[in-house]
């Protein structure tokens, strides 16, 4: 039962996608049921990993390598937990958001398909299945992003699709080279066999480049802002909070697991330097953005940059508790951003709906008339800045410590500049909420839509900031006292 | 995680929650639920006061009160009550109660009260968290929360001025917060978790690290100096005076600036250790910065016509007495600095309450408009007089006690130049406060006030506005007159000094 | 060995050609074809890997992978064409309001001036 349940987080949303396609009239109802079950199965699986060891199973009655291998360890379970909770929040929000609109009909199957692929990426145990799941993710994401049907949205997502395809092609070529050299695609087998060679190095470069394109790592981020900013709010939330994380998860997995023997300080430094570029450029563009959702999209570019800053630190840090702390902090950062950015986009969507636009300079009245939504933006924003008590504050604290301990103090300048820029762009939005417009009468104006955004934002701050311990436990770093 | 949950382990946490929970609930209230909001506010304030009284007694008897939450392995959120934290907690709790009464009166009929009181409670919680922080990580967390929670209060009125003031406030405190963060993380990477221990923890560090420790101190000092309004990091404080009077009173006379000053005291005594800090030459840097700020603030105050601005520059100057006390090696100066934490708080809040009363009742915002206000509002002006004379250092008001101990401590430590600073500052204080008192009591009142409100009240102004300054003015007198009584601020500061200098 | 090497080398060459074409050519259709050529290149590499010397049956795993890969590539191409078609329709709708357009069945597939729309933000 325990190992069989590994397949549920993939099978349930897939089933949901099929049912919502077949029965469009009750799609929202079916969608929410499927979302709830998916989330529960994901959380249950996380609980299993927490309680015991890593799980794995091979499907289809075939042995490896033909069978589809599914596995869950601490890293995948952490991200699975994130996708479960964030996905549930997005689903509940979407019911209200799409009520009375045809677009909802297409939203539910595509969204559940995207969720299937996402969980598939987190759970797949071999490189080829990862490719299939990545492609499925890219396809459903591009289709969802174009849901509004507006010219900008379709054009941006067509580009997103092509970029995604290019990324997966590059990844797939890397996989082919790996198979040529080692004759297997199973991650755990490969990590034992792999050793430094020109072929292995080429495949690292190909796979990393392809995934970096999908993760929107600067300067390959150009496709992200228009695609994320023009999608409907629940889709933006899913794209920014979850989909880019899938590609990042894979890079992290490959670098720390599969290719741990052959990555070098220089290569890690390049990733870090690109991350630094992302932080500075993304934050700067977010500060200059005129629209709220574009701001949020550029903020994603910057936040992805922080995640890549961990690579040079991880590379330089010798194995031990300090490196475990860094790794956990990296995961914490990714998960916190997932919650915070989803909360931010959902709230931004409400503001946009209420005001009829999302031009930041004219948002005063709308922001002030919706205290709960503005509060969500503030909470999520403080997590994006990295202010305490958010999870990203804890992550930054550990990251800065790692920079001191490994003597790579130059990253501190980037982190500090990025933090100040983030504060500037977040408070540029928040300052609109303190105008002299009429006072709202109560805190929550539209519970079904506002509460998911608020809860997601609150989790990124209170839950992940004050109780980050479970991430350490999930990753098997419990009892480490430094 | 499986620590024994005894009441001593819960009390610091409970003190924090007693304002945090009401604050969170207040956000959810409808705007017109005046009664419920008032009840929540007052209940929180009173429960906190009761808990703090228990804490004072426990810490006096030498009990250990510590709430510890493990955020992640090696990252603990620690609330720990020692003598120094009790002093600051008590100050914030008593003044929160008084200010809540004042704020309820002050904000009657104004919009967005749920938001105001929610953030107000959050600020007090953050201040209490700063006071009780048992390690550097916890301190940084609450220090930044205080920044965040204060921003909406400064921006509260929503006027362009308020937005601008809030922006400036944020720019300063964010930059300071980042400096503090760098210092704290750097120190953490050298030493492991930095717990606050009476007497300091760094004296045993190898000599090779001393240059780094000096650099870290500078980062910490910049971070804390922004909130403590040390020159040249004080620029936000006068700008933030656009905030409503209760905010100026509690936050800019007590919570925010004191958070910075308290942090400096913490870093000097409980992280570096005052002897070690002196050995590294850090006390000299601190002393010079504090002295410059004291004189500069007073000189700037002389030329301000806006009453709140004049008070703000006076705050800039007076808060640095605390840092000055910390910068002189010797228990008597320590007592003078630490006790001023309380004394400056009660005196300055009195002055701000009075300034709010003049503005609210008569529309008087400027010193030049204050002719004869003493005849129209004798009680408020009496309280103002007590606060102002205390600031100058006239016995038997609390401020005299601080200055006396600071002077005595400086003489004892052989730092005679400090006496000159104190003398100069006293003259300047007199220079900017006595003209106000003279105008208020001895000049003829004008025919009509700029914007007079007549309240339906037996007193010169609304009761909720009048009682708080009278209470705090009385506290100023009591703290000075009964300075030698048990549990007076002075006695408690002596206890702190005794523990800090214990071998 | 040589046959497999040649075949695999040709695959990599195809990949490189496709990449070049994708980056250089503006029209969407050419980009799509380029992507498919890149895919074909990768599939060639896989097929070359499957060769395990004369006389031994080939490794079935890469064959299975290639089949799956083709299915994925076809669906991706279909989606890209559908999105492109949508853009074309939009364009011809707005064009029709001013002049009579001859947008026919093939409009979605033609290399029209509108296909540079993917640069548009």
**pLDDT digits over B221-277, tens only?**
999 999 888 888 888 888 888 788 888 887 777 788 889 999 999 999 889 888 888
Within-domain flag for A50: no
> Do residues A214 and A221 lie in contact, with contact meaning Cβ atoms separated by under 8 Å?
no
Averaged over A399-418, what is the pLDDT? 92
DSSP A320: S
Name the phi and psi angles at A263, rounded to 5.
-75, 150
A135 with C76: Cβ contact below 8 A:
yes
Task: Name the burial class of residue B416, with classes exposed (0-12), middle (13-18) and buried (19+) by CB atoms within 10 angstroms of its CB.
Answer: exposed
State the sign of the Cα–Cα–Cα–Cα dihedral B265, B271, B277, B279.
positive
Rounded to the nearest 5 percent, the helix, strand and coil shares of chain B are: 75, 5, 20
> Do residues B76 and B18 lie in contact, with contact meaning Cβ atoms separated by under 8 Å?
no
- From the list A136, A207, A208, the residue with the least C-alpha distance to A177 is A207
Q: Is C79 on the interface with A (CB under 8 A)?
A: yes
On chain A, the residues whose CB falls within 8 A of the CB of C78 are: none
On chain C, the residues whose CB falls within 8 A of the CB of A154 are: 83, 86-87, 90
> Do residues C120 and A155 lie in contact, with contact meaning Cβ atoms separated by under 8 Å?
yes
Shortest alpha-carbon distance between residue A289 and chain B (Å): 19
Is chain B touching chain C, with at least 3 CB–CB pairs below 8 Å? no
The confidence score (pLDDT) of residue C121 equals 35
Q: How far apart are CA B255 and CA B24, in angstroms?
A: 19
Please tell me the total number of residues recorded for chain C in this structure. Answer: 121
| Run of H or E residues at B125 | helix B113-132
pTM value?
A: 0.90
pLDDT band at A3 (very low <50, low <70, confident <90, very high): low
A155 with C35: Cβ contact below 8 A:
no
Interface of B with A in 69-88 (CB under 8 A): 69-75, 77
Residue that has been written with the tokens 């207040």 in this structure: B26
Residue A198: both structure tokens together: 């020109």
Provide the number of CB pairs (under 8 Å) joining chain A to chain C. 97
Q: How far apart are CA B119 and CA A378, in angstroms?
A: 13
Report the percent of chain C where pLDDT is more than 70.
76
In terms of CATH architecture, what is C2-119?
A: Orthogonal Bundle (1.10)
On chain B, the residues whose CB falls within 8 A of the CB of A436 are: 157-159
On chain A, the residues whose CB falls within 8 A of the CB of B140 are: 388
On chain A, the residues whose CB falls within 8 A of the CB of C60 are: 66
Provide the number of CB pairs (under 8 Å) joining chain A to chain B. 117
Interface of C with A in 4-63 (CB under 8 A): 8, 11-12, 15, 18-19, 22, 28, 31-32, 35, 38-39, 41-42, 45-46, 48-49, 59-62
* 3-state DSSP assignment of residue A233: helix
- From the list A85, A4, A74, A6, the residue with the least C-alpha distance to A39 is A85
Q: Residue C42 is nearest to which of A136, A176, A226, comparing CB atoms?
A: A176
Q: Find the residue in C nearest to A141 (Cα).
A: C79
Q: Is C90 on the interface with A (CB under 8 A)?
A: yes
Q: Residue B144 is nearest to which of A388, A472, A481, comparing CB atoms?
A: A388
Domain ranges of chain B: 7-500
How far does chain C reach from its first CA to its final CA, in angstroms? 49
Q: How far apart are CA B221 and CA C84, in angstroms?
A: 60
Q: How far apart are CA B169 and CA B237, in angstroms?
A: 7
Q: Into how many domains does chain A fold?
A: 1
The confidence score (pLDDT) of residue A54 equals 65
Q: Residue B30 is nearest to which of A382, A401, A442, comparing CB atoms?
A: A442
- From the list A20, A46, A47, the residue with the least C-alpha distance to A35 is A20
Q: How far apart are CA A305 and CA B158, in angstroms?
A: 35
Residue A363: both structure tokens together: 């948002």
β-bridge partners, A69: A58
The confidence score (pLDDT) of residue A245 equals 92
DSSP A443: S
Mean pLDDT of chain A: 87
Q: How far apart are CA A456 and CA A443, in angstroms?
A: 17
Q: Is the pLDDT of residue C120 over 60?
A: no
Shortest alpha-carbon distance between residue C70 and chain A (Å): 11
Q: Is the pLDDT of residue B284 over 60?
A: yes
Residue that has been written with the tokens 């003597």 in this structure: A407
Q: Find the residue in C nearest to A230 (Cα).
A: C121
On chain B, the residues whose CB falls within 8 A of the CB of A332 are: 72
Averaged over B375-403, what is the pLDDT? 88
pLDDT winner (highest mean) among A110-124, A425-439, B58-72? A110-124
Structural domain containing residue A409: 264-477
Within-domain flag for A383: yes
* 3-state DSSP assignment of residue A299: helix
Query: pLDDT tens, A158-200?
Result: 989 999 999 999 999 999 888 888 888 888 888 888 888 888 8
CB atoms within 10 A of CB A413: 12
> Do residues A245 and A82 lie in contact, with contact meaning Cβ atoms separated by under 8 Å?
yes
State the sign of the Cα–Cα–Cα–Cα dihedral B320, B96, B196, A332.
negative
On chain A, the residues whose CB falls within 8 A of the CB of B111 are: 438-439
Averaged over B66-91, what is the pLDDT? 87
Q: Is the pLDDT of residue C109 over 80?
A: no
Name the phi and psi angles at A56, rounded to 5.
-155, 160
Averaged over A272-278, what is the pLDDT? 94
- From the list A279, A253, A229, the residue with the least C-alpha distance to A386 is A279
């Amino acid at each position: 039962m325990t190992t069989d349940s590994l397949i549920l987080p993939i099978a349930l949303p897939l089933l949901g996608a099929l049912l919502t396609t077949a029965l469009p009239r009750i799609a929202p109802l079916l969608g929410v049921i499927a979302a709830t079950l998916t989330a529960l199965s994901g959380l249950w699986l996380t609980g299993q990993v927490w309680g015991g060891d890593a799980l794995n199973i091979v499907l289809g009655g075939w042995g490896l390598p033909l069978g589809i291998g599914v596995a869950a360890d601490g890293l995948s379970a952490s991200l699975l937990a994130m996708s479960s909770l964030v996905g549930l929040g997005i689903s509940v929000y979407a019911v209200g958001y799409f009520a009375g609109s045809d677009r909802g009909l297409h939203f539910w199957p595509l969204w559940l398909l995207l969720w299937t692929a996402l969980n598939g990426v987190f759970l797949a145990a071999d490189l080829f299945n990862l490719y299939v799941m990545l492609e499925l993710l890219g396809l459903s994401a591009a289709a969802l992003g174009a849901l509004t049907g507006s010219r900008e949205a379709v054009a941006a997502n067509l580009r997103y699709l092509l970029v995604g395809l290019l990324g997966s092609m590059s990844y797939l070529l890397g996989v082919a080279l790996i198979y040529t050299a080692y004759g297997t695609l199973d991650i755990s087998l490969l990590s034992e066999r792999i050793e430094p060679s020109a072929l292995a190095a080429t495949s690292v470069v190909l796979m990393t480049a392809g995934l970096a394109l999908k993760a929107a790592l600067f300067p390959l981020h150009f496709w992200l802002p228009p695609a994320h900013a023009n999608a409907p709010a629940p889709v933006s939330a899913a794209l920014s909070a979850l989909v880019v994380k899938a590609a990042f998860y894979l890079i992290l997995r490959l670098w720390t697991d599969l290719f741990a023997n052959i990555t070098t300080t220089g290569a890690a430094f390049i990733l870090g330097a690109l991350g630094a570029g992302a932080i500075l450029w993304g934050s700067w563009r977010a500060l200059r953005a005129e629209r709220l959702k574009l701001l949020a999209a550029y903020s994603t570019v910057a936040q992805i940059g922080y995640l890549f800053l961990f690579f040079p630190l991880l590379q330089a840090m010798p194995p031990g508790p300090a490196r475990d702390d860094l790794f956990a902090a990296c995961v914490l950062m990714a998960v916190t951003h997932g919650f915070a950015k989803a909360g931010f986009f959902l709230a931004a969507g409400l503001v946009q709906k209420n005001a009829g636009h999302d031009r930041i300079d004219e948002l005063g009245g709308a922001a002030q008339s919706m205290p709960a939504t503005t509060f969500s933006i503030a909470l999520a924003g403080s997590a994006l800045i990295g202010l305490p008590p958010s999870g990203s504050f804890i992550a930054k604290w550990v990251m800065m410590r790692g920079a001191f301990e490994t003597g790579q103090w130059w990253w501190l300048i980037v982190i500090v500049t990025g933090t100040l820029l983030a504060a500037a762009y977040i408070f540029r939005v928040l300052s609109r909420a303190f105008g002299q417009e009429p006072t709202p009468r109560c805190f929550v104006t539209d519970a079904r839509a506002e509460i998911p955004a608020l809860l997601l934002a609150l989790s990124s701050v209170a839950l992940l900031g004050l109780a980050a311990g479970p991430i350490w436990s999930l990753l098997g770093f419990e009892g480490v006292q430094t | 995680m499986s620590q024994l949950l005894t009441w001593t382990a819960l009390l610091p946490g409970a003190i924090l929650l007693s304002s945090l929970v009401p604050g969170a609930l207040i956000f959810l209230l409808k705007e017109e639920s005046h009664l419920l909001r008032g009840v929540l506010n007052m209940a929180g304030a009173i429960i906190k006061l009761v808990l703090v009284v228990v804490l004072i007694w426990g810490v006096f008897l030498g009990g250990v009160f510590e709430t510890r939450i493990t955020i992640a392995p090696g990252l603990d959120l620690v609330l720990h009550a020692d003598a120094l934290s009790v002093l600051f907690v008590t100050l914030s709790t008593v003044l929160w109660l008084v200010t809540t009464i004042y704020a309820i009166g002050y904000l009657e009929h104004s919009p967005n009260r749920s938001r105001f009181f929610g953030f107000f409670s959050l600020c007090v919680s953050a201040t209490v968290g700063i006071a009780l922080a048992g390690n550097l990580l916890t301190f940084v967390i609450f220090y930044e929360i205080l920044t965040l929670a204060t921003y909406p209060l400064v921006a509260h009125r929503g006027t362009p001025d308020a937005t601008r003031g809030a922006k400036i406030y944020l720019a300063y405190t964010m930059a300071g917060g980042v400096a503090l963060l760098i210092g704290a993380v750097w120190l953490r990477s050298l030493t492991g978790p930095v717990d606050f221990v009476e007497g300091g923890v760094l004296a045993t560090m190898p000599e090779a690290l001393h240059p780094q420790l000096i650099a870290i101190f500078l980062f910490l000092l910049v971070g804390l100096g922004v909130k403590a309004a040390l020159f040249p990091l004080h620029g936000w404080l006068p700008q933030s005076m656009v905030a409503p009077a209760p905010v100026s009173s509690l936050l800019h006379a007590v919570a925010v600036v004191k958070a910075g000053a308290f942090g400096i005291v913490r870093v000097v005594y409980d992280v570096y250790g005052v002897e070690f800090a002196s050995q590294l030459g850090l006390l000299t840097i601190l002393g010079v910065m504090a002295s410059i700020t004291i004189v500069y603030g007073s000189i700037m105050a002389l030329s301000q016509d806006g009453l709140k601005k004049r008070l703000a520059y006076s705050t800039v100057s007076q808060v640095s007495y605390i840092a000055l006390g910390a910068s002189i090696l010797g228990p008597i100066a320590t007592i003078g600095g630490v006790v001023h934490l309380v004394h400056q708080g009660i005196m300055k809040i009195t002055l701000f309450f009075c300034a709010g009363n003049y503005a609210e009742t008569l529309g008087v915002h400027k010193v030049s408009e204050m002719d004869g206000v003493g005849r129209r509002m004798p009680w408020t002006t009496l309280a103002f007089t007590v606060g102002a004379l205390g600031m100058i250092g006239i016995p038997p008001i609390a401020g005299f006690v601080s200055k006396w101990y600071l002077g005595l401590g400086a003489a004892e430590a052989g730092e005679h130049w400090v006496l000159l600073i104190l003398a100069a500052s006293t003259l300047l204080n007199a220079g900017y406060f006595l003209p106000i008192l003279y105008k208020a009591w001895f000049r003829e009142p004008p025919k009509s006030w700029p914007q007079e409100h007549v309240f339906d009240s037996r007193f010169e102004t609304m009761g909720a506005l009048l009682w708080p300054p009278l209470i705090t003015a009385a506290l100023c007198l009591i703290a000075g007159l009964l300075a030698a009584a048990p549990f007076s601020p002075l006695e408690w500061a002596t206890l702190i000094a005794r523990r800090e200098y214990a071998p | 060995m040589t046959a497999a090497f040649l075949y695999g080398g040709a695959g990599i060459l195809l990949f490189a050609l496709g990449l070049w074409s994708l980056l250089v050519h503006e029209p969407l259709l050419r980009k799509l074809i380029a992507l498919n050529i890149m895919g074909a290149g990768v599939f060639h590499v896989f097929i070359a890997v499957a060769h395990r010397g004369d006389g031994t049956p080939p490794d079935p795993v890469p064959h299975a992978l290639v089949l799956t890969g083709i299915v994925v590539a076809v669906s991706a191409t279909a989606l890209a064409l559908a999105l492109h078609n949508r853009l074309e329709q939009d364009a011809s709708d707005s064009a029709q309001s001013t002049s009579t357009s001859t947008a026919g069945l093939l409009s979605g597939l033609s290399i029209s001036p509108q296909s540079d729309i993917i640069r548009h933000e």
